A and B are shown apart, each in its own frame.
Chain A
Amino acid sequence: MGYPNKPHLKETIVLSQHFGDADARTFKGWTKRGGYEALSQAFKMTPVEVIEVVKESGLRGRGGAGFPTGLKWSFMPKEKKKPHYLCVNADESEPGTFKDREIMRWTPHALLEGTAIAAHAIQAEIAYIYIRGEFTEPWTIMEKALAEANAANVFGKIKIVLHRGAGAYICGEETALMNSIEGKRGNPRIKPPFPAAAGLFGMPTTINNVETLTAVPHILKRGAAWYKGLCLSNPKSTGTKLFSVCGHVQRPGNYEVTMGFPLKDLLYEMCGGVPAGRTLKACIPGGSSVPILNREETERTLLDYEGCVAAGSMLGSGGVIVFDDSTDMVYQIMRLARFYAHESCAQCTQCREGTAWTTKIMERILAGQGKMQDLDLLLDLSENMTGKTICVLSDSCAAPVVSGIKKFKNEFEDYITGRRKPVMVA
């Protein structure tokens, strides 16, 4: 963990090197630390050359889906007939995730540099950085950094625009984010057309996560082979990843580790394990939208895209939420369902009605009024909410419910049979 503590020895410090170093926030301080060298290097390369390097590095999207970044960039039209746009998704709203916030707080220029390189690679003249509305401090810092960088004229013809969100979780979905920038209601769009064909303002658009783009300058400077070498398990997952650990651990925070690092070591060694006298019960490895892992699964999970899937979950955004044995899993799952019910954009029937219904059933179980058949009903509703809607918000609500019932059924049954005292649900 970087700021406010010293990094752990087992961390691989790339993106988080300057966390806690206020001088790195300034343009002068950043250039002193080698900043914007990669950008000048990129400007000397053709867009195709930049894309090839990123492809070769194996960098994959850090926002959740893990799509290969170079491949995504290569989908943009080679021959430019319309304006191209780059969108940077800094609407980090996934519960349990707080890595992009730290990147923007401490190394705003790293993001700006990565943004400019990506814009060059996809031949975009304008890049929008869509920053979560609640991120007041990162916003101020990014604004200042952008002003400094513009004053130094480092971006050439590329214009970077900061756009502030208004507090909707769904605006972190790529097409909803584009609607939001366009001034429309932040509703996800049906695909196709995919953003590379018709994205922001109907023009070819690429959208990348903050952490993804922040890794790009390092790849250009140190080479694709170096980045590719940062791999402890599956060669399809390369580089480093920031994990935001929160919940029942002694030292919560952001940890940067090489892909394939064991989750067990992250939790027990780096984060100091669960509070004394308690034991690990469950863990969500990739933000609230991914299936919950039980203790046994947690302890064998390797932190990369394939490793998390093998353990029955997903790497997602890298927001690690840790639950010890004092946790009421039924309550936690109700809280998650309630979050999704609150944030559903209301377009798709399954999501609009299903998230709210799921929440009502969960609340009733907690109130001691559940029935055994409610569990089957929850599973059936979750099935009906999965893979049938425009975006994955509906699926995200179903994932913790299904994995929760599967892995912690006894806790549900305790509420239903009255073995456990009802909880007042506010």
Chain B
Amino acid sequence: MPDQLINLIVDGVPVSVAPGTLVIEAAKQAGVLVPHYCYHPGLPVAGVCRMCLVEIEKAPKLQIACATTVTEGMVVKTQSAPAKDARKSVLEFLLINHPLDCPICDQAGECELQDFVFQEGRSGTRYGEYAKRFNPVEDFGPDVLYVPNRCILCTRCVRFMDDVAQEPVLNVSERGDRAYIGIHPEARLNHPWAGNVVDLCPVGSLLSKDFLHKARAWELDKTASICTGCSQGCSVTLDTRDEVVVRVRPRPNLDVNRYFICDHGRANYRWMNRGDRIEAPLVRRDGELHATDWDEAFARVLGILRGASGKAVALVSPGASTEALDLARRLLSAFEWTGAFQVVMGEEAPLPGVPNLALRAERAPNAKGAEQLGYTRDYAAAVKAAASAAVVLVLDDPDCPVETAGALIYAGTVLPPETACRAAQVVLPIANVAEEEGTFVNRDGRAQKYFQAKPAPGMARPAAWVLGELAAALGVAEAPR
């Protein structure tokens, strides 16, 4: 296809792009970020902020890069005096009614208005002593606040609700400098995907109540991860402050979730910070579980595995990493093996504007991975088989109603008071998803890696390390690195 590409020059850098590409996207390929507000690759083009005005040779006036398609031989200048002046003036116009309350604004530090003003705006105001536009804060929905004074009316939120969520409850109300984002008087911004408007908002106008005043943007560490909310497998970023997960945001992935995540996934992080974790290996001594070190715990597990034969049952969480699930199976490879998992189900909630994107009814990130490794969904049968098995391994499934005449080994993050897993001979403390690196396989069979965002508590280790050490000792896998 190379002969079909369009050649153009952006700020002196030649690039070749597919026909129909917008100048703003072609510029990205040339390594040039054209400052913009209303444009977003996941939304229809509006062309209203006028921030991305660029000079195009032979064009009579400045053109907006977000609505101009490339043509052969086009020469684009984003840093020419007219283009820079135009941007400077847009920034000035945007700021005259802006409260400049960055010190108390959640967006500060990740605000596109702040960034571009800092980059090329005026240092002082010419607006003088006029009053700024004032409208009170509005409660838009379960997790969204609207602060109209900070709004630059880019309409990203309106277009998201209109065209992507396809529940048009937002609009631009009023005209001229009185305009603000309005919500239908009888509606709430409670669409299952509505939280995306907070991410889309380039300024601090739409805020997440959940994240409100929790952290300043510059205090956050960001880690690439995969959402554990359902089997869709959306790419997310875990934002941590001082080793606590404080926010989940979508990470662009054009093949899975584009630029969005659902509100269920967005809110699904508090358990990652649970304080009631198992922090040391436990072994049963005189009928009681006692804390010990990894050496004794491993020795007990290996003793059980080496001394038993016949049936083994693995009851696993479909939220465990593919690596851990694989090792859990290998560990029991000398036995007559049954493996199963159970999936919590919920309501499916599609995002209409994006094909094949939904909050899936299956609320587990790695059911497909477990299935591919031979674990079955016949959980009830596996629980029944466990009763007479020689060895039962429960992997991070504390709700499992397990009862066995054989030896019970539990590898998990928590050990609630009522859990059947308290009957285990050995309890192995493992890391949760935010504390380890691993792979999930989403419902479409796409294997996706997630990374460690924070340290595991106490002596807890990633399940893949724990099971890997044991499997290596048995000679069924290489020792983990």
Contacts and interface: CB of A to CB of B under 8 A. Distances in A.
Interface of A: 168, 170, 185, 190, 341-350, 352-357, 360, 377, 384, 387-390
A168 B176 CA distance: 12
Contacts of A390: 47-48
Interface of B is mostly: loop
Given A343-B176, A349-B48, 20 more contacts: A170-B175, A185-B172, A190-B46, A190-B64, A342-B175, A346-B175, A346-B177, A346-B178, A348-B48, A348-B49, A349-B49, A349-B153, A350-B89, A356-B176, A357-B93, A357-B127, A387-B62, A388-B86, A389-B50, A390-B47
Contacts of A388: 50, 53, 61-62, 86, 89
B394 to A, nearest CB: 58
Nearest to A347: B48
A341 B50 contact: no
A346 B90 CA distance: 14
B36 to A, nearest CB: 12
B177 A355 contact: yes
Interface string B153-176: 101000000000000000110111
Contact of A344 (B49, B53, B126, B175): B175
B177 A356 contact: yes
Interface in B28-45: 45
Contacts of A357: 93, 96, 127, 130, 177
Nearest to B48: A347
A342 B329 CA distance: 71
B217 interface: no
B94 interface: yes
B71 to A, nearest CB: 12
A345 B94 CA distance: 16
A354 B89 CA distance: 10
Interface string B78-102: 0000000110011011101100000
Nearest to A170: B175
Contacts of B96: 353, 357
B50 A343 contact: no
A65 to B, nearest CB: 15
A343 B177 CA distance: 10
Contact of B89 (A190, A343, A344, A384): A384
A185 B93 contact: no
A359 to B, nearest CB: 9
Given A350-B90, A350-B93, A388-B62, A345 B49 contact: no
B90 A342 contact: no
B236 interface: no
Nearest to B178: A346
A345 to B, nearest CB: 6
13 contacts: A168-B175, A190-B46, A344-B176, A345-B176, A346-B177, A347-B153, A349-B50, A349-B90, A350-B90, A352-B179, A354-B93, A357-B96, A388-B50
B464 interface: no
Given A349-B94, A352-B153, A360-B130, A341 B177 contact: yes
B5 interface: no
Contacts of B92: 384
Contacts of B50: 348-350, 388-389
A342 B176 contact: yes
B67 interface: yes
Given A354-B93, A377-B126, A346 B174 contact: yes
B51 interface: yes
B248 interface: no
Contacts of B64: 190
A343 to B, nearest CB: 7
B206 interface: no
A353 B96 CA distance: 8
B70 interface: no
Nearest to B133: A356
B176 A352 contact: yes
B152 interface: yes
A384 B86 contact: yes
B120 to A, nearest CB: 14
A349 B89 CA distance: 9
B177 A349 contact: no
Which of A168, A343, A357 has the largest count of B CB atoms less than 10 A from its CB? A357
A342 B47 CA distance: 21
A344 B177 contact: yes
A346 B97 CA distance: 13
Q: Which of B53, B86, B89 has the most CB of A within 10 A?
A: B89
A349 B51 contact: yes
Closest 3 CB pairs of A and B: A346-B179, A384-B89, A356-B177
A346 B179 CA distance: 6
Contact of A349 (B152, B171, B178): B152
Given A352-B177, A353-B177, A346 B127 contact: no
Contact of B176 (A350, A355, A360, A389): A355
Contacts of B179: 346, 352
Contacts of B152: 349
Contacts of B94: 349, 353
A309 to B, nearest CB: 16
A347 B155 CA distance: 9
Given A344-B176, A384-B86, A353 B130 contact: no
A343 B178 CA distance: 11
A388 B178 CA distance: 21
A109 B136 CA distance: 52
A342 B126 CA distance: 22
Contacts of B67: 190
A357 B61 CA distance: 24
Contact of B93 (A342, A349, A377, A387): A349
Contacts of B175: 168, 170, 342-346
B93 A341 contact: no
Contacts of B153: 346-347, 349, 352
A346 B47 contact: no
Which of A185, A342, A347, A349 is the most central at the interface, judged by chain B CB atoms within 10 Å of its CB?
A349
Contact of A341 (B126, B174, B176): B176
Contacts of B45: 190
Contacts of A347: 46, 48, 153, 155
